[in-house]
């Protein structure tokens, strides 16, 4: 009994599976690179990746039946895939990603080998006869066998890819189990400086139209101006107003801004469209103050995560700031400045949406609650934000504060309390000086905590005055 010639040679089936995997990787990668948190250069490669991936998936369908030009089509599609992957790896600075080029190379080899060329050149009449023979034999099989034959190896791989993708989407958007409001505050807040009833001086529109509220403290003849951002879950009325009054008395025009989603600013509470939007907000605030106070040096800074907003925005600030001021700054998760034993337990984090949002450039999990702060019901009623989405948490976490500090060509002032509950004072100072170099002035304030350092901002004002008077 002669062995029946297979409808599709095994190497053609292998090629289809390889192209299916490669095409899916290209499409998914292209969609991710178009995510809201991707940089413009990265977004530019999204469409070419998708085009190459879709062309590959079309080839998977075309390889179901012999066609004379299939070897040529396979070579062209493989070249397109490889080119798009090389560009992606180059733009992302990740040469290891070029390992995916192996898939189209192996697939093209399977199609271009001698048997593949012969199969592609099968006359149409012979192919129809083989299909008829295959269908007749299939009708004699059991329903289960017919189902398996209809699905095939390529169908099984496609189904597996869909299942894995769907599981990833569900895992990314599934709500986290986060604790309820705390019974006691995670930070010492007995300073009595909060003024939740204060009215903003005004608002300015962000680039997407969201109103950004600010509190201005302007002396008659300011010698400098300062744009300042609050910390996680807070707002300008939650202990920051004394900074304005103190520095105003020192001749400095201070503009305290509520980050979007906080205080009197617009936007969903504790959320942001993405990191880039928050960076643009900082740029908008800086540009606005520069126009309000022209002709004088303009400084910018923040407290805790507000410092992270400034560091992330440094490359977008129109006109180089005269200097940067940071109170108890958050230099990022990888800076090693957090206390190893954080007695405050200030933040509880769910990693799943953070990982998903980071990997997908904000496409998945970005607007899922990922961080909860140890604020009490009373503090929440006064306007503090108890939860952050993954997008807001990522946007306030410095991506690479070491390189940013090294690239700031202006004086940097850093102050941290000796009794800070969140950060190690010595680690903060060492980190700033190690990466910011000689342009850093850092001080540890005796007896000050993470929040009480806001009560006496006179040293910061004196530092600004000293830079202006030089």
User: Six-digit token pair at 225?
Assistant: 């101006």
Q: What is the pLDDT of residue 304?
A: 95
Q: What is the pLDDT of residue 100?
A: 93
Instruction: Give me the chain's average pLDDT, please.
Output: 90
Claim to verify: residue 35 and residue 116 sit in the same structural domain: yes
Summarize the confidence of residues 231-245 as an average pLDDT: 94
Claim to verify: residue 162 and residue 218 sit in the same structural domain: no
Query: Does position 191 have pLDDT exceeding 50, yes or no?
Result: no
Total domains in the chain come to: 2
Q: Which of 127, 106, 108 is nearest to 117 (CA)?
A: 108
Summarize the confidence of residues 447-469 as an average pLDDT: 93
**What is the chain's alpha carbon radius of gyration, rounded to the nearest angstrom?**
29
For 334-397, give the DSSP string: TSS-B-SS-TT--EEE-HHHHHHHHHTTTSSSTTSEEEEE--BHHHHHTT---EEEHHHHHHHS
The rounded distance, in Å, linking the Cα atoms of 374 and 233 is 10
pLDDT: which is higher, 3 or 315: 315
Burial classification of residue 43, based on how many CB atoms lie within 10 Å of its CB (0-12 exposed, 13-18 middle, 19 or more buried) = middle
Claim to verify: residue 97 and residue 220 sit in the same structural domain: no
Summarize the confidence of residues 90-108 as an average pLDDT: 93
In-domain check, residue 268: yes
Claim to verify: residue 357 and residue 442 sit in the same structural domain: yes
In-domain check, residue 65: yes
CATH number at residue 220: 3.40.50.1820
pLDDT-derived band at 341 (thresholds 50, 70, 90) equals: low
Q: What is the pLDDT of residue 50?
A: 96
Query: How many of the other CB atoms lie within 10 Å of CB of 444?
Result: 16
In-domain check, residue 183: no
Q: What is the pLDDT of residue 189?
A: 56
Domain boundary among 135, 153, 173: 173
In-domain check, residue 412: yes
Query: Does position 65 have pLDDT exceeding 70, yes or no?
Result: yes
User: Six-digit token pair at 55?
Assistant: 């062309």
User: Six-digit token pair at 85?
Assistant: 């992957």
Query: Does position 266 have pLDDT exceeding 50, yes or no?
Result: yes
Q: What is the pLDDT of residue 107?
A: 94
Claim to verify: residue 15 and residue 88 sit in the same structural domain: yes
Claim to verify: residue 163 and residue 243 sit in the same structural domain: no
Do the strands 224-229 and 211-217 form a parallel or antiparallel pair, or are they unpaired? unpaired
Query: Does position 32 have pLDDT exceeding 60, yes or no?
Result: yes
Claim to verify: residue 162 and residue 207 sit in the same structural domain: no
Claim to verify: residue 292 and residue 149 sit in the same structural domain: no
Non-local (6+) Cβ contacts of 220 within 8 A are: none
The model carries a pTM of 0.84
Q: What is the pLDDT of residue 147?
A: 65
C-beta of residue 303 within 8 angstroms of C-beta of residue 330: no
In-domain check, residue 284: yes
pLDDT, tens digit, for every residue of 100-130? 999 999 999 999 887 788 888 888 888 888 8
C-beta of residue 419 within 8 angstroms of C-beta of residue 263: no
Q: What is the pLDDT of residue 72?
A: 92
Q: What is the pLDDT of residue 430?
A: 96
Domain boundary among 124, 153, 173: 173
Host H or E run for residue 292? helix 275-292
In-domain check, residue 196: no
Claim to verify: residue 323 and residue 454 sit in the same structural domain: yes
Summarize the confidence of residues 373-389 as an average pLDDT: 89
Q: Which of 17, 25, 26, 7 is nearest to 110 (CA)?
A: 17
User: Six-digit token pair at 107?
Assistant: 């697939």
Claim to verify: residue 295 and residue 151 sit in the same structural domain: no
Q: What is the pLDDT of residue 328?
A: 96
Q: What is the pLDDT of residue 113?
A: 85
Query: Does position 294 have pLDDT exceeding 50, yes or no?
Result: yes
Claim to verify: residue 143 and residue 274 sit in the same structural domain: no
Q: Which residues on neighbouring strands pair with residue 357, listed in sequence order?
A: none
In-domain check, residue 310: yes
Q: What is the pLDDT of residue 109?
A: 93
| Residue that has been written with the tokens 């009215």 in this structure | 199
Claim to verify: residue 113 and residue 222 sit in the same structural domain: no
Query: Does position 176 have pLDDT exceeding 70, yes or no?
Result: yes
The rounded distance, in Å, linking the Cα atoms of 233 and 426 is 25
Structural domain of 328: 202-469
């Amino acid at each position: 009994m002669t062995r029946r010639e297979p409808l599709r040679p095994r190497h053609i089936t292998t090629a289809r599976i390889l192209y299916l995997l490669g095409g899916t990787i290209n499409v998914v990668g292209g969609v991710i690179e178009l995510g809201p948190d991707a940089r413009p250069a990265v977004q530019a490669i999204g469409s070419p990746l998708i085009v190459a991936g879709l062309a590959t998936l079309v080839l998977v369908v075309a390889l179901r039946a012999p066609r004379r030009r299939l070897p040529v089509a396979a070579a062209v599609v493989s070249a397109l895939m490889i080119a798009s992957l090389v560009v992606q790896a180059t733009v992302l600075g990740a040469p290891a990603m070029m390992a995916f080029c192996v898939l189209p190379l192996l697939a093209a080899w399977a199609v271009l080998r001698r048997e593949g060329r012969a199969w592609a050149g099968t006359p149409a009449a012979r192919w129809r006869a083989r299909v008829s023979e295959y269908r007749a034999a299939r009708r004699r099989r059991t329903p289960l066998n017919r189902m398996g034959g209809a699905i095939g190896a390529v169908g099984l791989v496609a189904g597996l890819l869909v299942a894995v993708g769907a599981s990833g989407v569900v895992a990314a958007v599934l709500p986290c189990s986060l604790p309820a409001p705390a019974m006691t505050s995670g930070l010492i807040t007995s300073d009595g400086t909060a003024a939740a009833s204060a009215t903003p001086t005004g608002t300015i529109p962000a680039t997407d139209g969201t109103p950004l509220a600010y509190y201005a403290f302007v002396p008659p003849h300011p010698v400098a101006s300062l744009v300042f951002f609050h910390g996680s879950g807070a707002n300008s009325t939650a202990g920051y107003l004394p900074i304005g009054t103190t520095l105003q008395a020192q001749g400095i025009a201070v503009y305290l801004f509520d980050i979007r989603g906080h205080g009197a600013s617009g936007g969903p509470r504790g959320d942001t469209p993405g990191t880039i939007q928050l960076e643009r907000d900082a740029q908008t605030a800086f540009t606005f103050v520069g126009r309000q106070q022209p002709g004088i040096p303009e400084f910018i800074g923040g407290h805790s995560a507000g410092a992270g907003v400034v560091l992330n925005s440094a490359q977008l600030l129109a006109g180089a700031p005269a200097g940067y001021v940071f109170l108890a700054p958050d230099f990022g998760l990888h800076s090693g400045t957090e206390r190893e034993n954080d007695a405050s337990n200030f933040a509880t984090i769910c990693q799943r949406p953070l990982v998903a949002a980071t990997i997908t450039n904000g496409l998945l999990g970005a607007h899922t609650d990922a961080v909860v702060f140890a604020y009490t019901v009373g503090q929440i009623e006064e306007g503090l934000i108890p939860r952050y989405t993954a997008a807001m948490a990522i946007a306030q976490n410095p991506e690479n504060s070491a390189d940013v500090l090294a690239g700031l060509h202006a004086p940097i002032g850093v102050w941290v309390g000796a009794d800070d509950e969140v950060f190690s004072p010595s680690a903060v100072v060492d980190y700033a000086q190690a990466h910011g170099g000689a342009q850093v002035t850092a001080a540890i304030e005796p007896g000050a905590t993470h929040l009480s350092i806001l009560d006496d901002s006179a040293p910061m004002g004196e530092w600004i005055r000293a830079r202006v008077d030089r």
